Structure 1
C-alpha cells in the first residue's frame, strides 16, 4: 500500500492573486493498493457521499495521467481517501486530490517524476498553481509561470503565526467565481495590488505583522467575489476587531482566513458567530502553517 498526505492550502492571502499560497496543517490522506481487477474508490470524511467513487474521481483522473505517461495499466486499483479538507470551500481540496493522485501513482508505477514534472502535470489539470504549488511544496510559496514553466520560491514564516479560518456551510465553484472577475483592471488597481503584495511578502519575511492589515487588502478579486458571501464584510471587520493581523478571502472562497499571532480562539469564535448573525452556518478552525508539503508516509 502507498499512503500520501497532502496539506490544505490558502491561496492569494488578499493581493497575491494567482501567485501566492500557503500550506496549512489540515490534511487529506490518499491510499493506493493493488487489487486483482477493477477500480474501487472509497471516501471517508469530507465529501463522503458526494464525491464520485468511479473513474471520474479527481484523484483517479490525476493518477491516470501518470499511468498513461509511464505506459502503465494496473490490473486493479483500490483508492481510499480520508479527507480532512472541506470540499469546495477555498482550502485547496481539488489541488490536494490532484497532488495526492499524482504522487501515489508516481510511487505505484515507478514513473520517476520529479518535483517540477509533478508540479507541471498538476497545473495542467488545475489550470493555475495557486493551490497546487503550496500543496506540493509546503510553506508559503511565491510562484510565476515563465514560458509555460513554473518558477517558485519559499519564504519562512514568523514563529507563532496561525491561520484562523471560518468555513461557511456552502460550496462555491472556483470556475464560477473566476467568471465573476473582470478581464481588465485599471492601472490604479494594479499598482494597489502590486504594492500590497510586495508589502505582504516583506512583512512576513521580516516578521513585521503590524502592517498585515494594509498588506492583505486587494482590489483584483475580492470586491467581485465577496458579494457572493453573506456577511463577508462583517466577518472581516469582526476578525480585525478581535485581534487578527490581516484578513482575506481564502482562495476563491467562501472561507475567510485571518492571520493572527494572539487571541486565535477569540477570533475563531467571533468569525463563526458573525457568520451566524448573517444567516450562515460556519465552523472555525485554528491551523498552523505547514512547512512540509505532500509526502508519501509509508509504502507497505
Structure 2
C-alpha cells in the first residue's frame, strides 16, 4: 500500500464514430488531471463550477472505482484527498465517466501496489462501464477497436491516428441513459448487415489512416444515429456545411449531445471557427487525438 503525492492525467474520449457502436473509441487531447495526496478522509474537490454538482466524498465515482478495484484484489487503501482539474465538458458525450473510472483504476493500481497490466486495467474498466469503447481509449490512448463480451476482451490499438477533430458542444448536457432509451430493441437482419459492413470498412480505413474513407463510413451508421439525431439542432445542415469546408465526416460523439467531426490534421481551428460562425448554438473545440492514455506524473 502506498501513501504518496502523485497525479493521474487521463484524456477525453469520443466513442462509436458512427457505426462502431460500443466498440470504437478515440482519445482526444482534452485532459482531466487528478492530484492525489494523503488525507484523513476521502475527499474530492473540483476546480471550476462545471463539476461542482458531483459528489465530493467517498460516493464520488473516482473514489468508488479506487475502492472497488482494491477490494477486487483483497487490498485496502488509506484515505486520500483528490483535487481534480478537467478540460473535458461534463455530460457532453466526451467520456467524462469513463475518464473518472480510468483515473480510479490508475489510482488504485498505485495506492494498492497492484502492478496491473494495461489489458487488465481495460478489462476492469470495461466491466464497470458495460462496454469497452470509451474506457479502453482513455486508458490506452489513440484509437481502440474492441470486442468485449463476458470475460473476454480483444482490442486492436492504433496509437497515433493521423487526423484532427472538431467537437461541437451544445450548452445543455444529456444523460447517457436518456439517449440509450431512444434506441430500438432490435434491427432487421439486412439493416444489421449493412451496419456491420460500414463498421468493418471504417475500422480498416482507420487502421490505414485513410480518414477520407473512414469519414464516409461514419456517416453510414444505422445503429444509433438515426434514432438520436433529432436531439441535435441543425444536424443535417452541419453535416452539409462540414463537407463543404473540407471535413472527412461527421457523427454523434458517444451518446451525445456533442457532435464529432473528423478533419485533416492542421485544419481543426479553421473548420471549428467556420462552423461556430454559422451555427452559434454550439461551441467548437479544435482538438488533436491523444496518443497517450492515462499516465502517472
Aligned to 2:196: 194
Structure 1 residue 10 corresponds to structure 2 residue 14: yes
Alignment of 1:134-213 (within 5 A): 134-155=137-158, 157-159=160-162, 161-213=163-215
CA distance in 2, matches of 1:25, 1:167: 15
Give the TM-score normalised by the residue count of structure 2: 0.91
2:29 equivalent in structure 1? 25
Q: Does 1:104 align with 2:107?
A: yes
Cα offsets for 1:219-242 (capped at 9, x unmatched): 110111111222222222221222
Q: Is the 8 A contact 1:11 1:251 kept in 2?
A: yes
Task: Return the TM-score normalized by structure 1.
Answer: 0.91
Matched, 1:133 2:136: yes
Provide the C-alpha distance between the structure 2 equivalents of 1:241 and 1:196, rounded to a whole number of angstroms.
22
Q: Which residue of 1 aligns with 2:293?
A: 293
Structure 2 CA distance for aligned equivalents of residues 198 and 46 of structure 1? 41
Are positions 1:121 and 2:86 aligned together?
no
**What CA distance in whole angstroms lies between the structure 1 residues aligned with 2:140 and 2:182?**
29
Whether the 8 Å contact between 1:66 and 1:111 is mirrored in structure 2 is: no
CA, structure 1 residues 237+157, in 2 after alignment: closer, same or farther (shift >3 Å)?
farther
Which structure 1 residue ranges, 5 or more long, are not aligned? none
Structure 2 residue runs of 5 or longer lacking an equivalent are none
RMSD between aligned alpha carbons? 1.8
Post-superposition, which runs of at least 4 consecutive aligned residues in structure 1 deviate over 6 A?
none
Secondary structure at 2:133 match in 1:
coil
Deviation at 1:157, TM superposition (A): 4.9
The answer on 1:284 being equivalent to 2:284 is yes
2:90 pairs with 83, 87, 92, which one? Answer: 87
Name the structure 2 match of 1:220.
223
In the alignment, the residues of structure 2 paired with residue 147 and residue 64 of structure 1 have an alpha-carbon distance, to the nearest angstrom, of 22
Deviations, residues 60-105 of structure 1 (Å, cap 9, x unaligned): 1111112323444444311111111111111111000001011012
